[in-house]
């Protein structure tokens, strides 16, 4: 155990020795991607982390035990999805008390990572402010405001209101920097029209994070990078698919936590599977960057 979080031996040893560790969420595998793409994503993200000298720790609640790192049998169970519930930060205590198998969202994953002593986390896209009434706001934003870790992503999911999300992050005091980009990525594409400070070197990312900690900041450092250019989709293609998806979700009365998976599936179908290809590519790329940052941080 690392505090209240169970860490696998390799993860616990790396944390104790001050070596590079990267936390990953499990909800993207158990709810975000369909079978068998979820297994492909899990394998590619773990390999991207490990090939750069870091240790990967998939976070989850395993039969009531908060965990940093899953055994092979546990990961297979989560990939199969049977009986796996989606767990945000607010749901952690409930899942623990009930002995639930819970796949962690960004909010829950960074909470567990911080409790375990892991300082770097990688995902695809964070949650944010939804486009349609009642303009729901993801718990990811509040958790980013109170959890001091480095989060690597490709911005917020494109199904969201990206400008409102960026403004909310600013209001919450979450520092956002672009790795070799001066623009907040639009998840499936590189362009959003929203400016962010550009950083070109890993050493500067580490310096910014250490300065935040020295100042006593409780918020995360959000490091964003666009998806790999061979996979990126034109903004017009994504926007058209998202607008149609939002209209259809409203017509169908879909609300709350069901909106995100519905819209992601709709965009994937509307782009003939190209959206899923982008998602898989950026997940691997973000895991790789997170591992490089974690390695630099551990030096």
Q: Which of 25, 74, 143, 284 is catalytic?
A: 25
Task: Give the H or E element holding residue 58.
Answer: strand 55-62
Burial 220-243 (b: 16+ CB within 10 A, else e): bbbbbbbbeeebbbebebbeebbe
Q: Which of 74, 157, 277, 284 is catalytic?
A: 157
Taking CA 105 as the corner, what is the angle to CA 202 and CA 112, rounded to the nearest 5 degrees? Answer: 70
Give 150's contacts (C-beta < 8 A, 6+ positions apart). 119, 120, 121, 205, 209, 220, 221, 223, 290, 293, 297
Whether 25 sits among the annotated catalytic residues: the reply is yes
CA dihedral 198, 210, 104, 290 (to 10 degrees): 50
Sign of the C-alpha dihedral computed for residues 186, 189, 191 and 195 taken in this order: positive
Question: Which residue numbers are catalytic?
Answer: 25, 157
């Amino acid at each position: 155990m690392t505090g209240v979080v169970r860490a696998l031996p390799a993860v616990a040893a790396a944390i104790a020795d001050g070596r590079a560790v990267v936390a990953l969420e499990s909800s993207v595998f158990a709810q975000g991607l369909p079978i068998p793409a979820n297994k492909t994503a899990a394998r590619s993200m773990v390999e991207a982390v490990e090939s750069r000298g870091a240790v990967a720790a998939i976070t989850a609640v395993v039969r009531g035990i908060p965990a940093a790192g899953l055994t092979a049998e546990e990961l297979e169970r989560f990939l199969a999805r049977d009986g796996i519930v989606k767990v945000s930060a607010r749901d952690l205590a409930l899942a623990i008390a009930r002995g639930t198998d819970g796949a962690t969202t960004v909010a829950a994953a960074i909470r567990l990572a911080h409790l375990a002593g892991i300082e770097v986390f990688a995902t695809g896209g964070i949650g944010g402010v939804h486009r349609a009434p009642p303009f729901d706001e993801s718990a990811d934003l509040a958790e980013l405001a109170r959890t001091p870790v480095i989060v690597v992503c490709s911005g917020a999911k494109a199904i969201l209101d990206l400008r409102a999300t960026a403004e909310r992050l600013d209001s919450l005091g979450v520092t956002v920097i672009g790795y070799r980009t001066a623009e907040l990525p639009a998840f499936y594409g590189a362009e959003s029209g929203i400016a962010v400070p550009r950083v070109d070197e890993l050493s500067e990312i580490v310096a910014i994070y250490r300065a935040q900690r020295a100042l006593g900041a409780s918020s995360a450092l959000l490091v964003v990078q666009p998806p790999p250019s061979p996979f990126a989709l034109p903004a017009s293609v994504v926007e058209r698919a998202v607008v149609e998806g939002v209209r259809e979700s409203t017509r169908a009365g879909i609300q709350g936590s069901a909106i995100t998976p519905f819209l992601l599936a709709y965009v994937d179908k509307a782009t003939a599977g190209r959206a899923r290809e982008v998602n898989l590519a950026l997940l691997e790329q973000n895991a790789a960057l997170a591992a490089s940052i974690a390695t630099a941080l551990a030096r």
